[in-house]
Structure 1
């Protein structure tokens, strides 16, 4: 799966034309849906997790460790942001809802492990 090869070593994804093609979205669509004051890497990583859980569930054995790494990175960002600025903690649910809307997904928030 192309998405797996685009993940950074730390566990997050960046906006990239190859990633956008996986999602079937333009950069403009992705940026317009991003909640205010949310880092692009956090936003794209959440969208990637939603995409995996929504559209690649049958292949979960192939991507579950990649998702664990992304979830761990997201949690570490959440802890860091909470200590420094306290704005990301309340934004994760907003990001998940926006990501679900972007991808037209019905995945449940609790399934993402965030």
Structure 2
């Protein structure tokens, strides 16, 4: 996970934003939140930096079927994703222990990554 580019104020602001984020962020959310630390940060700069950070594995994409791609710092290869049908917000269910019965998988199949999608609504969000 070595850096292949020089550090910029914009990239530092994007990484800092993802470090403190309470949930995976869309490019628009990254731009809005990182702009506090990098005034004038444009969406094209955010996308360019996302590509660089993905290439260097400093961030990862969270692709939820039917939703916008969100970005976050690298996590475990097991995760449960919570999607609010009312607001379309995507969150990670932190600390959820995902266990798979390997005997129920097809013979010879070796899982590499596990993602579980849980759909519902947050009752306290608008």
Verify same fold: TM over 0.5.
no
- Using structure 2 for the length normalisation, give the TM-score: 0.28
Instruction: Looking at secondary structure, tell me which structure has more strand per residue.
Output: 2
Greater share of residues in helix = 1
The structure with the larger Rg is 2
